[in-house]
Amino acid sequence: MDVKAYETAERLLRHNRGELVFGGKIKPQWIDGGARFWYSVDTAAGRQFMVVDPHAGERKPVSDPAQLMAVPVTRNPLEVPSPDGKYVVFRQGCDIWVRSVNDDKQWALTNDGDEDHDYGASPDYFMYSRLFQRLGMPSAPPAVAWSPDSARVLTHRTVQEGLRKSHFIESLPADGGPPQLHEMRVALAGDQQMQMAELVVLDVLAGKAIRVNTEPLPMPIMSPIMMRSVWWSDDGTAAYFLSQSDDMRTLRLNRLDPETGEVQVVLTETGPTRVEPSQQPLLGPIIKIHGDDVLWYSQRDGWGHLYRYDVRTGDLLGQITSGEWVVQQILRVDNGFVYFVAAGLVPADPYRRSVCRIGLDGTGFTRLTADDLDHAVALSPNGSYFVDTSSTVDSAPVTVVRDWDGQVLVEVEKADISRLEATGWTPPERFCVKAADGQTDIYGVLYRPHGFDPSRRYPVLDHTYPLPAITRVSPGFDQGWHGNDAEVVAALGFVVIAVDGRGTPGRNKQFHDFSYGQPAAGLADHVAAIQQLAANRPWMDTDRAGIFGTSAGGYGTVRAMLDFPSVFKVGVSESGMHDWRFSDPGLATAYHGPFDEQAYAMSSNVDDAERLEGKLLLMHGGVDQQVSPELTLRLAERLIAAGKDFDLVIMPGADHIYLGYEHYANRRKWDFLVRHLHGSQPPEGYRLTPVRLDAEFLAELFG
């Protein structure tokens, strides 16, 4: 293979892509309470700083953005400031402390924290992750929520006593000494004990703790405050939190009196499978308290819609939205209207998002962005406008500022992708095919290889990520860090597809529930997609088909090779969660159903290892705290017992996404696919440049 293909693929990697796409992602830095904002943008001439005044309709350059801020602020990332800026709270030992910014006086808000009962802590894998350590931080910031008047802090006492212990070895510590053994408290699917959060309200000035009179909240993933399932009312007179039954089939909204710690159940919803406050947990609950109203997300009619309840009595007042589409985010409530993001209103693509408005009585529905594009939104702090970036998977982003009638106040940026196109990149093809049932529409993208010649035949790769919490294919131009691999590998001479099969989120309840109790079921749709696409694209060589992915995609890679060996001949599985019995109990229960040893075993890659037929590369980070490397080693041990040939790469100091090791992991992955699927030899001696691990890169990676 020509070395230029590797050079191009390296240029397309996420950390380099910013040099190829200018103005594609705008991050507003709010000033004047949100009345204006500034942002930075890279151009062919270098980085520029722009200031935008939406109501004046102005956008102009500024030489130094620091002059726009009255007082430049340097903040300790381990401190959480109050809304009025007068105080910060932080963790000291296992307790929560507060510091006055003006005189630097500090005092304890709790004094009974210990290792198993520490305050404001998430589970160990997140709280003390390698990522924070690489950033020079001993832990994550405390999980706290300030009241709007800066008088109280809502947090939790984290209970972790009695949890099972997991261990990993740091083979080469930073000090160069002998290997170090690290211990981590974990909970696995089926465990009777898991990390729990006991809510507590802390009075900042009085130094008093109000214990909340309710059962502790399970927190298998991270703090419920960080997951935004605990929040203050707008006026600070109450706090609200969500709680679920153990089987996740009942969801409750609770009101907390911060003066007394008493809790009242506001409303409850129960269903035959999981009842979710959102199909995509990372977007947060789709719930809003507004005055005496609760705007409540429910899929009871088969689609994700808003319902209106009385916050005092819990009585249903009516359904606000309806139709064969879904609400994804509430933006604001004002003057009897709710403004929100919805998907499914664009006939060409049900995943594209629109900004909409409707009256709280269910009348007056209006699409404020009435086009066929996907819209990503950022709200101004004062609520007077929103920044709207529109695109599709094959059209470059355009960013404008709109008012709440949808009118454009000022144009901000139009992305320049000329350098991206100069690499040989061509826009991916958005496709719609039938699922394995022959009836259900499923959607995906197809990347053509660079230098595409329709008279040739190209090997096919499926880049998979079947976790039912996240859509694999973004409806917009930027595919995100976990979707970037597809367009990168296309530069090496592969046709690459990505598919959202049944069971993934973003559609109706029935579509999402297909994964319930069978998390790998949607992989049959990937096979159906490849077969249908190849039927009228003779340049797709399905006799040379492979699959690759990370984390849930690592699991899906091996699962697909085991279930469909005649289709997927080659696979690269990175950081794979190969056995749901050893996974996070929150994810396992939500997507696999209540723990059942036999049912969970049926989806285990380890238990079916003897069925492997193709060429497989397993990769894992040796200090992965999110998906333990022992899951890949369990699979390797079973493959060895079955006499199966495979390749195994363990990077001793790497975490879940290989920070600091990406250059090596990518090269090994590319080499394996090129040799075993493309049928050519990698360029001899080619080495990728290590990624610079600085704050700017990490902000781009995660944001």
Position 529 in a domain: yes
Confidence of residue 699 (pLDDT cuts 50, 70, 90): low
pLDDT attached to residue 703 = 46
Strand order in the sheet with 29-31: 29-31, 36-43, 46-53, 58-61
Using alpha carbons, select from 137, 184, 185, 196 the residue that is nearest to residue 163.
185
Q: Is the per-residue pLDDT at 33 higher than 60?
A: yes
Position 149 in a domain: no
248-252, 374-378, 688-692, range with the lowest pLDDT: 688-692
Residues 6+ apart with CB under 8 A from 688: 6, 10, 662, 663, 664, 666, 667
Q: Is the per-residue pLDDT at 70 higher than 70?
A: no
CATH number for the domain that contains residue 515: 3.40.50.1820
Classify the C-alpha dihedral 497-502-504-506 as positive or negative.
Answer: positive
pLDDT attached to residue 171 = 87
Tokens at residue 124, please? 């160990």
Position 551 in a domain: yes
Position 599 in a domain: yes
- pLDDT mean over 208-221: 91
Using alpha carbons, select from 534, 573, 584, 527 the residue that is nearest to residue 551.
573
Q: Are the C-beta atoms of residues 510 and 516 closer than 8 Å to each other?
A: no
Counting the structural domains of the chain, the total is 1
Beta-bridge mates of residue 432:
443
pLDDT attached to residue 73 = 53
What is the average pLDDT score of the chain?
93
Burial 246-275 (b: 16+ CB within 10 A, else e): eebbebbbbbbbbeebebeebbebebebbb
**The model's pTM:** 0.94
Q: Is the per-residue pLDDT at 102 higher than 50?
A: yes
Position 71 in a domain: no
Confidence of residue 332 (pLDDT cuts 50, 70, 90): very high
319-323, 431-435, 698-702, range with the lowest pLDDT: 698-702
Position 100 in a domain: no
How far is it, in rounded angstroms, from Cα 110 to Cα 228?
23
pLDDT attached to residue 637 = 98
pLDDT attached to residue 487 = 95
Using alpha carbons, select from 515, 502, 501, 499 the residue that is nearest to residue 590.
515
Which ranges in 478-551 belong to alpha helices (H)? 484-490, 509-513, 523-535
- pLDDT mean over 15-37: 92
Confidence of residue 284 (pLDDT cuts 50, 70, 90): very high
- pLDDT mean over 657-680: 95
How far is it, in rounded angstroms, from Cα 656 to Cα 29?
31
Q: Is the per-residue pLDDT at 391 higher than 90?
A: yes
Position 620 in a domain: yes
pLDDT attached to residue 132 = 78
pLDDT attached to residue 236 = 93
Q: What is the pLDDT of residues 104-135, one digit of tens each?
A: 999 999 999 999 999 999 998 888 887 777 77
Domain range for 539 is: 3-20+419-702
Q: Is the per-residue pLDDT at 488 higher than 70?
A: yes
Q: Is the per-residue pLDDT at 697 higher than 60?
A: no
pLDDT attached to residue 678 = 96
Residues 6+ apart with CB under 8 A from 121: 91, 94, 127, 139, 142, 143, 158, 223
- pLDDT mean over 417-435: 97
Look up residue 57 and give its amino acid.
G
Q: What is the pLDDT of residues 494-546, one digit of tens each?
A: 999 999 999 999 999 999 999 888 888 899 999 999 999 999 999 999 999 99
38-47, 358-367, 376-385, 451-460, range with the lowest pLDDT: 38-47
3-state secondary structure (DSSP) of residue 534: helix
Please calculate the CA angle 553-551-474 and round it to the nearest 5 degrees: 55
Q: What is the pLDDT of residues 173-204, one digit of tens each?
A: 888 899 999 899 999 998 888 999 999 999 99
Position 322 in a domain: no
Q: Are the C-beta atoms of residues 225 and 284 closer than 8 Å to each other?
A: no
3-state secondary structure (DSSP) of residue 664: helix
pLDDT attached to residue 700 = 53
Label the pairing between strands 164-170 and 395-402. Answer: unpaired
